[in-house]
Amino acid sequence: MHNILEHGEKLSAMVWLREMHNTAVKARLQTDMQSSEPGGGLWDLVQLTGEKARRSNVMLLDRDKAEVFYSRVSDLEDLFSCVHLHIELIVSRDQPLHTQVDKICEISYACTKALQTAMHYRDAQQTWYPSPEGLTPWYCKSNVRLGLWKLCTLILDLKDEASGSASSLVEKLVGNLEGLVDILLESYAGAITAKVEREEEYRGLQKEYWSKRDTLLNSMYQYAKAVAEAATEASFLMNLTLFCA
């Protein structure tokens, strides 16, 4: 029963991803009528994940990459494995900064909303679930956590690169980071809880959680502090100008 319900979680996440994918493709094709490739972060990630699945099964080689991805609902975790292992193929340092930001933000938003959709499904169907004691939800497993952390580290790197020269890009990156942080920390909490319930060693994972939490929250705090200080300085200068006038 637990496996069936988790499949429902993944299916709801896949449906949401497909809707976002189709919307993004239509928008890009309308914007650039000369382009035969829709591009975009999510489109590239779906293609990459679908290609990986095709190569592992010769029966799928003649099928479209996106079709392969969306038909393999139970393997949704592969999306996060591809983020962890191959995101540099999609978000390359050779690309303009704004392109990197657009792609990483689109992928981050898609991953965050997909997991939130799955969690909402679980909450809505909670009465049907068997006792979860000792079970690690699929979105709390290592491959998903690694993919989420990879996105977080890339956002932090791009934020540092854009700081001082592109405040709008920094704001966009931090906005996406906030959603990722919530999901990542909840994923760690679920994994740690399952280990405790199984009476397994959990302190190593707990220390990893603390380290990542402190890194992410400190970065967000420093950004919020800088924004607050800039707003205070701007307000002071405005009041000074009015007083002098």
pLDDT recorded at residue 140: 95
Q: Which tens digit of pLDDT belongs to each residue from 182-227?
A: 999 999 999 999 999 999 999 999 999 999 999 999 999 988 888 8
Span 226-240, mean pLDDT? Answer: 66
Q: What are phi and psi of 72, to 5 degrees?
A: -105, 65
pLDDT recorded at residue 240: 47
101's CB contacts (< 8 A; 6+ apart) are 158, 162, 169, 172, 173
Q: How far apart (Å, rounded) are the C-alpha atoms in residues 50 and 97?
A: 27
Query: Are 48 and 79 contacting, i.e. CB atoms less than 8 angstroms apart?
Result: no
Q: Between the CA of residue 136 and those of 133, 166, 195, what are the distances in Å? A: 9, 41, 8
* DSSP H helical ranges for the chain: 2-31, 41-55, 65-71, 77-86, 97-124, 142-162, 167-197, 203-244
238's CB contacts (< 8 A; 6+ apart) are none
Q: How far apart (Å, rounded) are the C-alpha atoms in residues 172 and 105?
A: 8
Does residue 19 sit in helix, strand or coil? helix
Q: Which tens digit of pLDDT belongs to each residue from 132-190?
A: 788 999 999 999 999 999 999 999 999 999 887 778 899 999 999 999 999 999 999 99
pLDDT recorded at residue 32: 62
Rounded to two decimals, the pTM is 0.89
Q: Which tens digit of pLDDT belongs to each residue from 106-134?
A: 999 999 999 999 999 999 998 998 887 88
